[in-house]
């Protein structure tokens, strides 16, 4: 709708342009924040990769024989009850 049509219908004129609705930041500032976000994402990705590696290492470790013996004794006690 044009401003004339708004006035005919008793509406206040629209004063906001499309530029006013879109946040205007200097392109250099946008690049800096984008670079910072990219760096943060890369850091998070590297942390995630390392955590998965550590988890896989731990999951694939052998269970100590002493722990297995404790589990066997617990199982045998529960069977006798």
pLDDT in tens, 24-75: 666 666 677 888 899 999 999 999 999 999 999 999 999 999 999 999 999 9
List the end-to-end C-alpha distance of the chain, in Å, as a whole number.
83
Query: CA 49, 50, 51, 52 torsion: positive or negative?
Result: positive
Joined together, the tokens standing for residue 59 give 């999951």
Banded pLDDT at 77 (limits 50, 70, 90): confident
What is the number of residues in the chain?
81
How far apart are the C-alpha atoms of 74 and 68, rounded to whole Å? 10
Which pLDDT belongs to residue 33? 80
Residue that has been written with the tokens 């066997």 in this structure: 72
User: Structure pTM?
Assistant: 0.43
pLDDT beyond 70 at 20? no
């Amino acid at each position: 709708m044009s401003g004339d049509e708004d006035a005919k219908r008793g509406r206040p004129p629209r004063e906001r342009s499309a530029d006013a609705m879109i946040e205007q930041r200097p392109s250099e500032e946008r690049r800096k924040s984008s670079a910072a976000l990219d760096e943060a994402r890369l850091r998070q990705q590297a942390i995630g990769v390392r955590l998965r590696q550590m988890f896989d290492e731990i999951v694939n470790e052998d269970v100590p024989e002493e722990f297995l013996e404790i589990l066997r004794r617990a199982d045998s006690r529960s069977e006798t009850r």
